Amino acid sequence: MTLRAYLAKRVIYTVILVAFVIVLNWIIFEAMPGVSGNLYAVLGQSRIPPGAFERQVALYGLDQPPLTRFVDYVRNMLTFNFGIGIQSNLPVATEMISTGKLYNTLLLLGTSTVFSLVIGTVIGILTSRRRGSTSDNFWVTSSLTTFSLPSFFIGILLIFIFSVALNWFPAGGTHPNSWDVASQDLRPGLIQQYLIQMQYLFLPALTLTIISYGGFLLLTRATMMEALSEDYILTARAKGLSERAVLFKHAFRNASLPVITNAALSFGFILTGAIITETIFNWPGLGLWLYNAIFYKDFPVMQALFYIIALSVIAANFISDILYGIVDPRIRYE
């Protein structure tokens, strides 16, 4: 099968999977009870103005038959028009972008994912050539420990050490509270603003990096040890190649396929937001938004985020399948 035929086949499968996700996402929230009751509670129960409840019901299409609601829902999902949020009474897509929630999550999860991928992969490659050594035992033990610890424990520990005890970094938020009331002219310059925001980013990004790098390290180490036992590695060393060339250019290239899959899935889950970490550090991203939406029963927000998460994971799997053939020429598209 040629690459073009394989791509066409994967695109068809992806379209079918997206259609399945759309239908399942609608069924889940359609089966959830309490939409009308939640609207009633939001509007103030006994103090609802005349006609207000009916207008809200019409706004969310709850007065329409199920088939009409489903057609409108499919149209909205395909056009990324996710409707009006119950809590904010704003369009979900507008609130996601204009308030900085999407940017904050991409900044936090993107930074931590890149650092954990690089750190875990490099250490995994270096420890694989010294199996059983002191450094190997140290990194394996530490990665297993940090990978097993809950994120809220590491986050609270880092806040206590770096924020409470040492007062080096702020405990939460994305910027000082004074910026919310000060005009743009009274704020520091752009470079200084960027440096200050990096201070607020440090602790939540460090928390996610600590709990994530261990998975990449253990996976890279396991695949590298298998690759280093192959005959072509012995041949490469017999040719006089440096150990660095043997590890990174020969062994890791053939051992990188599971790492690529894991990395693609990690980037695919970026838009989920780190719910626990964002909550602990009061980081206004998609994770904290989803957390509040669950407690507030803001069904349009939950429905939109679940749909976006599913699309991100599907796209990540599609990209990783394509990258297989680029990284490893031995892959045949079947």
Asked whether residue 68 falls in the same domain as residue 159, the answer is no
Asked whether residue 200 falls in the same domain as residue 265, the answer is yes
What is the predicted pLDDT for the residue at 46? Answer: 45
Nearest to residue 285, comparing CAs of 75, 117, 96, 104?
A: 104
Percent of the chain predicted with pLDDT > 90? 3
Asked whether residue 269 falls in the same domain as residue 233, the answer is yes
How crowded is residue 20: how many other Cβ atoms within 10 Å of its Cβ? 11
Asked whether residue 51 falls in the same domain as residue 106, the answer is no
Cα–Cα dist 219/238, whole Å: 27
What is the predicted pLDDT for the residue at 44? Answer: 47
Instruction: Write out the two tokens for 182.
Output: 């000060």
Whether this prediction's pTM lies above 0.85 is answered by: no
Cβ atoms of 295 and 41 within 8 Å: the answer is no
| pLDDT over 80 (residue 19) | yes
Q: Indicate left, alpha or beta for 170 from its phi (over 0: left) and psi (-120 to 50: alpha).
A: beta
Sequence-ordered list of residues with C-beta below 8 angstroms from that of 290, at least 6 positions apart, any chain: 272, 273, 275, 301, 302, 305
Percent of the chain predicted with pLDDT > 70? 80
Is 310 inside a domain boundary?
Answer: no
In the numeric block, the tokens 């937001």 are attached to 273
CATH code of residue 245? 1.10.3720.10
Cα–Cα dist 254/226, whole Å: 10
Is 332 inside a domain boundary?
Answer: no
> CA torsion, points 198, 199, 201, 203, in degrees to nearest 10?
150
Cα–Cα dist 78/300, whole Å: 15
- pLDDT (tens digit, 9 = 90+) per residue, 227-278? 777 777 777 777 777 777 777 777 777 777 778 777 777 776 666 657 888 8
Cα–Cα dist 77/23, whole Å: 10
Q: How sure is the predictor about 36, in pLDDT bands with cuts at 50, 70 and 90?
A: very low
Q: How many domains does the chain have?
A: 2
Is 213 inside a domain boundary?
Answer: yes
- Give the range with max mean pLDDT: 56-60, 92-96, 253-257, 323-327: 92-96
Asked whether residue 143 falls in the same domain as residue 237, the answer is yes
Q: Domain of 28?
A: 3-91
Is 296 inside a domain boundary?
Answer: no
